[in-house]
């Protein structure tokens, strides 16, 4: 019984060149358990230890699929370090097929490090930080747009100027998705929490629509391989240069609810004032026009053709100077 309450008591017992499957979790009041499955791939030595998390939001499936495949494919005898793969960090949201767990409707990626004895989502956050990511040398957090949207491939770090941000930015550059991204400092996200512990963190976005297509899954797997090479866990070594510019985004929301007609495509460059979408009421009258507040590129687009006032329709991206970049 004691072991069941703390199934992770020997979670970090290193066994050279082995693959271990485990779960961490806790009981709910109805007698069921929250079980978070993870795979630990122990290589030739325990460090560095890279923890890769997906499924923090339950309707984002590219990351979970990539990690399930990597758990089968990463060769422990070629690895110099430990890789921990968590393909479904939020089992309650995953079971519901929703961003958030219906149990408490909290966004897991706003409440890290969670709370012992808190709500279900708070306890999930607590288990993940205390039993899985604590002491990592790098945390990678894989996301997608939810079922209502779609995203360009972004690999990024949290905005800061310290050494942890610099190492995070280099790891994000090694991940190497199409857009070098800088996430605004935002309390309660997994990457912010990691950075606050001095752990470098990479946050990524690929795809959405509650789907996982082969090329999207391969983008994530390729990025993870490059990160592991960058940190010396896999051969051949990967040299990375700091990008001088990074993308940031501003949110463009619907002015009214109704049926949405999107006039631009993902990745498209747009000019300030350009018409991006229109919303019609249920009599067919245009009740809102959405135009670009400035020049930029469409990083996220809503695909669900119904929308409520205030909901996100686009992320308008722009490039700005990378605060971690130092010219040679």
Q: Which residues of this protein are in contact with Zn ion, per CB under 5 A?
A: 57, 60, 143
We find the least distance from the C-beta atom of residue 61 to Zn ion, in angstroms, to be: 11
**Interatomic CA distance for residues 125 and 25, integer angstroms:** 10
- Measure the CA dihedral 62/63/64/70, to 10°: 110
**Quick one: 103 or 274, whose CB is closer to Zn ion?**
103
CB neighbourhood size of 73 (10 A):
10
**Interatomic CA distance for residues 207 and 274, integer angstroms:** 24
**Quick one: 224 or 231, whose CB is closer to Zn ion?**
224
CB neighbourhood size of 229 (10 A):
17
**Quick one: 34 or 62, whose CB is closer to Zn ion?**
62
* Nearest residue to 130 (alpha-carbon basis) of 34, 6, 228, 259: 6
* Nearest residue to 270 (alpha-carbon basis) of 203, 316, 232, 308: 316
We find the least distance from the C-beta atom of residue 90 to Zn ion, in angstroms, to be: 10
In three-state secondary structure terms, 168 is helix
**Quick one: 59 or 122, whose CB is closer to Zn ion?**
59
**Quick one: 153 or 288, whose CB is closer to Zn ion?**
153
**Interatomic CA distance for residues 314 and 209, integer angstroms:** 14
**Interatomic CA distance for residues 154 and 281, integer angstroms:** 34
We find the least distance from the C-beta atom of residue 243 to Zn ion, in angstroms, to be: 23
We find the least distance from the C-beta atom of residue 50 to Zn ion, in angstroms, to be: 20
We find the least distance from the C-beta atom of residue 15 to Zn ion, in angstroms, to be: 33
CB neighbourhood size of 33 (10 A):
13
We find the least distance from the C-beta atom of residue 136 to Zn ion, in angstroms, to be: 19
Q: Nearest residue to Zn ion, using CB?
A: 143
**Quick one: 41 or 145, whose CB is closer to Zn ion?**
145
State the angle between helix axes of 214-230 and 163-175 in degrees (0 to 180), rounded to the nearest 10.
130
**Quick one: 148 or 230, whose CB is closer to Zn ion?**
148
Q: Does the N-terminal peptide bond of residue 236 adopt cis geometry, omega within 30 degrees of 0?
A: yes
We find the least distance from the C-beta atom of residue 172 to Zn ion, in angstroms, to be: 16
């Amino acid at each position: 019984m004691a072991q069941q309450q703390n199934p992770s008591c020997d979670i970090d017992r290193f066994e050279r060149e082995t693959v271990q499957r485990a779960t961490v979790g806790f009981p709910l009041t109805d007698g069921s358990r929250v079980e978070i499955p993870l795979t630990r791939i122990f290589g030739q030595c325990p460090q560095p230890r890279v923890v890769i998390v997906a499924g923090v939001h339950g309707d984002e499936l590219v990351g979970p699929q990539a990690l399930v495949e990597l758990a089968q494919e990463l060769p422990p005898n070629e690895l110099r370090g430990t890789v921990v793969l968590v393909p479904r960090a939020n089992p309650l949201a995953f079971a519901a097929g929703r961003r958030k767990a219906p149990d408490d409707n909290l966004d897991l990626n706003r409440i890290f490090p969670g709370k012992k004895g808190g709500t279900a989502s708070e306890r999930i956050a607590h288990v993940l930080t205390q039993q899985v990511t604590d002491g990592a040398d790098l945390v990678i957090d894989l996301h997608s747009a939810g079922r209502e949207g779609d995203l360009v491939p972004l690999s990024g770090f949290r905005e800061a100027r310290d050494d942890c941000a610099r190492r995070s930015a280099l790891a994000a550059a090694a991940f190497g998705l199409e857009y070098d991204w800088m996430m605004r400092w935002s309390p309660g996200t997994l990457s912010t929490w990691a950075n606050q512990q001095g752990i470098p963190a990479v946050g990524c976005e690929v795809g959405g629509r509650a789907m996982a297509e082969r090329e999207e899954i391969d983008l994530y797997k390729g990025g993870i391989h490059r990160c592991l090479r960058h940190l010396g866990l896999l051969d051949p070594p990967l040299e990375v240069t700091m990008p001088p510019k990074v993308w940031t985004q501003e949110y463009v929301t619907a002015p009214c609810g109704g049926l949405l007609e999107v006039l631009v495509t993902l990745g498209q460059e747009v000019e300030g004032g350009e018409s991006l979408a229109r919303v019609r009421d249920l009599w067919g009258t245009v009740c809102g026009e959405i135009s670009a507040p400035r020049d930029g590129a469409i990083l996220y687009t809503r695909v669900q053709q119904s929308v409520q006032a205030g909901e996100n329709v686009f992320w308008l991206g722009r490039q700005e100077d990378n605060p971690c970049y130092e010219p040679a």
